[in-house]
Structure 1
Amino acid sequence: MNKALFLGLALSLLPIGCRTSNPSTTTSTGRITTGQRNQQAQPFAKGADIGWLPQMEASGYVFYNDQGVRQDCFQILKDHGINTIRLRTWVNPSSDSISGHCSKDETVAMAVRARKWGMRVMIDFHYSDSWADPGKQKKPAAWEGHDFPKLLTDVYEYTFEVMTALKAKGVTPEWVQVGNETPGGMIYPEGSTANWAQLAQLINKGYDAIKAVSPQSKVILHLDQGNNRERFRTWFDNARSHGAHYDVIGLSYYPYWLPGNPDYQLSIDDLARNMNELVERYGKEVMVVEVGGEDTKPQNTYDMLVAVQRRVKAVPNNKGLGVIYWEPEGARSWSKYPLSAWGNDGKPTKALDAFLAE
């Protein structure tokens, strides 16, 4: 989903902003070992990507709980069943109110805060200075002009640096994404899917750096349009044939962004079939790492979230790991983003209650 295109237009009036353990053992090829398969299933991940939160707080935005009492956003999320926090990281972001922040230091600070609240942590490497998504995968400015061998080093060193900074603060991410919504690849043009051999090498440098610091962290590769089975099969067949290493397949699912803005009921079964087929075909775990629905239709979004959680939980052999809402706290009154789970009164909408229902 190309959220950045929407946000670049809709958030132009914002004063301040920012877009954006389960121990495992893996082989050198990224395959899950027999010992890991036999582990007792960890609690289902009910998550929130909240990269905007520091900027919202800095701008003076106030969060209220269901009773209208001012409260820390983390407390409100936790009281609604959220147990996992997803955080993006950009290489050298600007201080731009829309597309800045989310630097290494800011991301580490947020991860520390999440752990203090007892949350599990996912880190999302965009490998860019700003949004990376299906619409664009622009390499960081500091990496421009580097030949391909140097880009491989760049990916490894940057990934290692962030992971080491997290470890130094006592944070072990349970999951780490190498790239964000990468149907066309990442770090263009060298890492485009037009050159899968190079893309796989870039992925593996990220994978190797993560495992060097935190071998128990599970590495995720992430595509959009989670209901699009052909999209995922083509991409992950290529990943397999080119030797890309990973542990988990991450999916985005946004019915709102599909052509014609259809109701989720028209695509939810395709999402379920896709997840089941991915597990069977590739032997990996799956996770919906981004989901969202219209804030003005909280009942529909609630129903969609319940349905998504049920479909993920129904994936065979406990290989459906969890569901993460993208920026539920990003109220439209602050962000102009239409898919939060927060009302203009500063309180969460009914949609967020779906994480208590399942």
Structure 2
Amino acid sequence: MLFLPFLVGILTPLANAALTYKGVDWSSTLMLENSGKSFKTSPGTTEAFETILKSSGVNTVRQRLWVNPSNGNYNLAYNIKLAQRAAAANLSVYLDIHFSDTWADPSHQTLPSGWPTDIDDLAWKVYNYTLSVCNSFQSASAPLAMISIGNEITAGMLWPLGKTANASNLARLLHSASAGIKESTFTTKPKIMIHTDNGWNWSTQSWFYKLILGAGPLTSSDFDMIGLSYYPFYSSSATLASLKTSLNNLASGYEKEIVIAETDWPVSCPSPAYAFPSDTSSIPKSVAGQTTWMKDVAAVVAGVGSSLGVGLFYWEPGWVGNANLGSSCADNLMVDSSFVARSIIPTLWSLEDNIISLFDQTIFITTLTEIMKFINSASGLAFLRSVSSVVASPENASVGTSTTPTVPHMVGVMEYNGTIHGIPHSGNGTFQEIYHEFTKLHPDTTVNGTSIRDRIALKPRNKASNYRLPFQAAVSVRANVLTLANNYGIDPSCAYLATYATYITTTCQGDSGGACGQSFDKDKYNIIVREDLDCTNWW
């Protein structure tokens, strides 16, 4: 029996990330259940795994499809049954087609038994197989949100014909698979993904996409998403910083949605085959470390330029009996060897949208600049504390720094003495109070034909919650000084805020897709950087 209340805690960073697809790979679920295991939220309380995942904030599940496996696990019927359960639980499904009877990965891309060994016939087979798979899911009322055409195909697929050494063949096979999806009977067509490994390695990704897009019939219109595996235990070079560079370069270079299709973090790794990346050294090999890892990776994905970072999937968190998940680490699962949940992790984030990408920030900055036109003078500071040190509870708590929150909220305490649109406001107040005061006084104020109230309620990108407060959440006002008070998954130290403001005004000005991943106009956004970086003046 698998006791899984821990998932709510560990997966909280995933659930709270500003991502469209928040998922896990649950392919082994039916196999585990067929062997007599059951999932439980607490001793004596059995729950379907999809129910547990849903309550943990997961909205998409990943499933691997094998063509004709010897024991039937992961075949078409297996996957349809699993997908129907997901649909019933209101979970989206990401189907990962391996185009093999067994594992397909950078070391194995074995041609399914009985499939053609001539490229013309093989391309036709790939088209018809993919078309048939899609039509079968449609007939079974099991919709798919996305399909990856191959699994970790950095070295190609359907060997030997589809090896990267035969780049034109590989491009043709991918084009055929894409056509099968596009010409299926799906009412809503799934998004098409190409999935490679070593997502942190920009050199590898650049080489791969230049190869397949320059060697045959495959074009950019044949796929919608770039999927990447990103594991910390196969190379010391797999840093979060390298991942950030790779993802942003892919997004700016190919303008595709970016998904981390697979990742894991160990709770035990006494003898790793490779040193862990240097910028993960502070993350413990523990349950708490799993939470931190998911939070950090989610932050990188959500920060991809042009809002193209859309998804993150933890690979097989509940596969009891396969604890190392193919790595040199002893245990990457969220369940111990006795099927008992590990310690529950406290919720780290209290809001759904705690990671804001650079693109989202510019939306807020635009709105803030407009609002600041109506702030005539101000003294004191508005700031947002880190989640761990938020002190205002409930949201409209009285002023002060001594109150203790029962649940952390993205609510800070501000001192504000000045005028809002000519109306004096003196004394202290919470962000909520200042926001209320502003909208109460000026409910219909418009800027460029749009009411400020509407702009404050702006929902950038795919945000589900009503993100009300660029004014609340991102402004420090002292004589029109604007800083980016963004502590959504990053350390919001005062020096960082000012440094970041400096960075975007110097590095990003006029940039059309380089370091910033977007165009940034200093004058348009009216960023004024504080001269003093003394943290004592900020907290």
TM range (shorter): 0.7 to 0.9
CA, structure 1 residues 354+235, in 2 after alignment: closer, same or farther (shift >3 Å)? farther
Would the aligned equivalents of 2:134 and 2:181 in 1 still touch at CA under 8 Å?
yes
Counterpart of 1:341? 334
Question: Of residues 216, 220, 236 in structure 1, which corresponds to 2:209?
Answer: 236
Q: Distance in 2 between matches of 1:319 and 1:174?
A: 16
Q: Distance in 1 between matches of 2:349 and 2:161?
A: 44
Amino acid at match of 1:89: L
- Deviation of the 1:353 alpha carbon: 7.7
Please give the secondary structure, in 2, of the residue aligned with 1:249. Answer: strand
Deviation per CA, 1:46-73, whole angstroms, max 9, x where unpaired?
A: 1111111111011111222267733221
Pair 1:196 & 2:167 matched: yes
Deviation per CA, 1:272-309, whole angstroms, max 9, x where unpaired?
A: 11101100011111100101111332122211111011
Would the aligned equivalents of 1:331 and 1:341 in 2 still touch at CA under 8 Å?
no
Please give the secondary structure, in 1, of the residue aligned with 2:228. Answer: strand
Q: Distance in 2 between matches of 1:212 and 1:234?
A: 30
Counterpart of 1:59? 35
Counterpart of 1:47? 23
Counterpart of 1:180? 151
Q: Distance in 1 between matches of 2:306 and 2:44?
A: 41
Q: Distance in 2 between matches of 1:355 and 1:179?
A: 35
Counterpart of 2:235? 258
Please give the secondary structure, in 2, of the residue aligned with 1:308. Answer: helix
Unaligned 5+ segments in structure 2 are 1-17, 269-285, 326-330, 355-539
Pair 1:308 & 2:285 matched: no
1:62-141 alignment runs, 5 A limit:
62-65=38-41, 69-95=45-71, 101-141=73-113
- Deviation of the 1:319 alpha carbon: 0.8
Would the aligned equivalents of 1:80 and 1:356 in 2 still touch at CA under 8 Å?
no
Counterpart of 1:273? 245
Please give the secondary structure, in 2, of the residue aligned with 1:277. Answer: helix
CA, structure 1 residues 65+356, in 2 after alignment: closer, same or farther (shift >3 Å)? farther
Deviation per CA, 1:231-253, whole angstroms, max 9, x where unpaired?
A: 10100111222342211100101
Would the aligned equivalents of 2:23 and 2:313 in 1 still touch at CA under 8 Å?
yes
Amino acid at match of 2:106: P
CA, structure 1 residues 313+139, in 2 after alignment: closer, same or farther (shift >3 Å)? same
Q: Distance in 2 between matches of 1:53 and 1:351?
A: 22
TM-score by length of 2: 0.54
Rg comparison, structure with higher value: 2
Pair 1:154 & 2:125 matched: yes
Amino acid at match of 1:273: T
Amino acid at match of 2:298: Q
Deviation per CA, 1:290-348, whole angstroms, max 9, x where unpaired?
A: 0111133212221111101111111122211110111111134x656432222335355
Counterpart of 1:329? 318
Please give the secondary structure, in 2, of the residue aligned with 1:256. Answer: coil
- Deviation of the 1:258 alpha carbon: 2.5
Question: Of residues 193, 196, 208 in structure 1, which corresponds to 2:179?
Answer: 208
Give the CA RMSD over aligned residues: 2.3
Would the aligned equivalents of 2:19 and 2:302 in 1 still touch at CA under 8 Å?
no
CA, structure 1 residues 173+183, in 2 after alignment: closer, same or farther (shift >3 Å)? same
Please give the secondary structure, in 2, of the residue aligned with 1:270. Answer: helix
Would the aligned equivalents of 2:87 and 2:143 in 1 still touch at CA under 8 Å?
no
Task: Give aligned pairs, total.
Answer: 306
- Deviation of the 1:142 alpha carbon: 1.4
Q: Distance in 2 between matches of 1:74 and 1:219?
A: 24
Identity of aligned residues (%): 29
Unaligned 5+ segments in structure 1 are 1-41
CA, structure 1 residues 307+258, in 2 after alignment: closer, same or farther (shift >3 Å)? same
Please give the secondary structure, in 2, of the residue aligned with 1:286. Answer: strand
Deviation per CA, 1:214-233, whole angstroms, max 9, x where unpaired?
A: 46311100111111111101
Deviation per CA, 1:108-131, whole angstroms, max 9, x where unpaired?
A: 111111110100111111000000
Bigger relative contact order, structure 1 or 2 (CA pairs below 8 A, ≥6 apart): 1
Q: Distance in 1 between matches of 2:260 and 2:146?
A: 13
CA, structure 1 residues 156+350, in 2 after alignment: closer, same or farther (shift >3 Å)? farther
Counterpart of 2:136? 165
CA, structure 1 residues 131+173, in 2 after alignment: closer, same or farther (shift >3 Å)? same
Pair 1:294 & 2:266 matched: yes
Would the aligned equivalents of 1:302 and 1:351 in 2 still touch at CA under 8 Å?
no
Amino acid at match of 1:343: D
